[in-house]
Amino acid sequence: MFKIDKTFLINNFITILFRSFGWIILGLIFSFFVNNILVLSLNYPNFYSIFSQYNLDSFIILGIYILGVILPISFVILSPSNTLRFDAEMLHKFNVYFIRSCFWAVIFVGLTDFFISFMRVERILPILLNDYFVRALGRSAFVGLYIHLPLILLGFVVALYTRTLGFTWLALIIVAGELLIVISRFVFSYEQSFMGDLVRYWYAALFLFASAYTLYQNGHVRVDVFYASMSTKARGAVNAFGSILLGASTCIVIILIGFDGKQSIINSPIMNFEITQTGTVGMFIKYQMAAFLGIFGITMLIQFISYFFESIADYRNEVGHRDHQTSVIS
């Protein structure tokens, strides 16, 4: 049994209030993704339809969103000793792992799909495989389900045993890829669409995945005519309001629109394993680039909530203020 100190809760009411607010946002977004999975797999109603359809499915969806509120509040109440900075760091560490996993996934998927595309275009596959697998490797749904998905899962496993985020290495690989394309084009007069697909795929991953960590490092462009002269407390207030009103709200809009039903701009390409061209001359990765937008929205939202917690702690002059200028990857 958990024993809750009521006096402690009362004295830390403000901290509990702000922690609950941030965690509820994340809880409701998690509920939305559970709802999205049910919509795509079992044709359950969307979140905005639960009050217009009075049936068992609607009540199940409503219950999921209620849990999205109750569970975060319960977590906050049952962990009263957690500070705002502790929660902020916990969210950041989860984000770092998730982004690192995505980095490894795009490396594995990109290289594997590149070589499959090369062998498909140069008609090497019929030499190595039977007719069934040759035809299967020409279908994006087969490649996505039986090759890409295991490689993505492998990326999450590898990320458990690594520490670097890998943005520098990904940038270096992109430069190397561009160099090889130039050499191939002008020296050997060889160029195929899958070569450009690989570079665009990694470019998209680099910029969209790195955005959340850039926020953690306070590296995004900021007009600091007034901000630079503010006190730590004033900066905390500005950052807290900006994190929710401008940052988190934008991410929520991206998520809600991008995952709104089977025909939405993110769900549809993923469900159909959409590719960039007709035929089989390119890489089968366009559907993942649509998913990158969703990953961007998710990771940025988590980081904005983390930034919100940290900013409130700065406003309240809590110990542990982080100097953004000296932060390093850990």
Q: What is the DSSP string of 202-264?
A: HHHHHHHHHHHHHHHTT-S----TTGGGS-HHHHHHHHHHHIIIIIIHHHHHHHHHHTSSTTS
The reply to whether 103 and 192 lie within a common domain is yes
The reply to whether 159 and 77 lie within a common domain is no
The reply to whether 201 and 128 lie within a common domain is yes
Give per-residue pLDDT as tens, 88-126: 999 999 999 999 999 999 999 999 999 998 898 888 999
Vertex 104 angle, CA 133 and 298, to 5°: 110
The Cβ of residue 121 has, within 10 Å, a number of other Cβ atoms equal to 16
Last residue within a domain, chosen from 82, 99, 118: 82
Q: What is the domain extent for residue 17? A: 1-82
Last residue within a domain, chosen from 30, 63, 82: 82
Q: What is the pLDDT at residue 328? A: 39
Q: Is the pLDDT of residue 80 over 60?
A: yes
The reply to whether 159 and 27 lie within a common domain is no
Specify the higher pLDDT residue, 217 or 136.
136
Spacing of C-alpha 252 from chain mean position: 12
Last residue within a domain, chosen from 36, 65, 82: 82
Half-sphere exposure of 87 (CA within 13 A, CB side): 29
Q: Is the pLDDT of residue 197 over 50?
A: yes
- Residue with the two structure tokens 């697909």: 197
The reply to whether 90 and 78 lie within a common domain is no
The reply to whether 229 and 96 lie within a common domain is yes
Specify the higher pLDDT residue, 213 or 327.
213
The reply to whether 204 and 267 lie within a common domain is yes
As a whole number, mean pLDDT of residues 165-187 equals: 84
The reply to whether 94 and 229 lie within a common domain is yes
The reply to whether 204 and 189 lie within a common domain is yes
The reply to whether 89 and 198 lie within a common domain is yes
Give per-residue pLDDT as tens, 200-252: 999 999 999 989 888 887 777 776 677 777 788 888 899 999 999 999 999 99
The reply to whether 310 and 203 lie within a common domain is yes
The reply to whether 57 and 131 lie within a common domain is no
Q: How many domains does the chain have?
A: 2
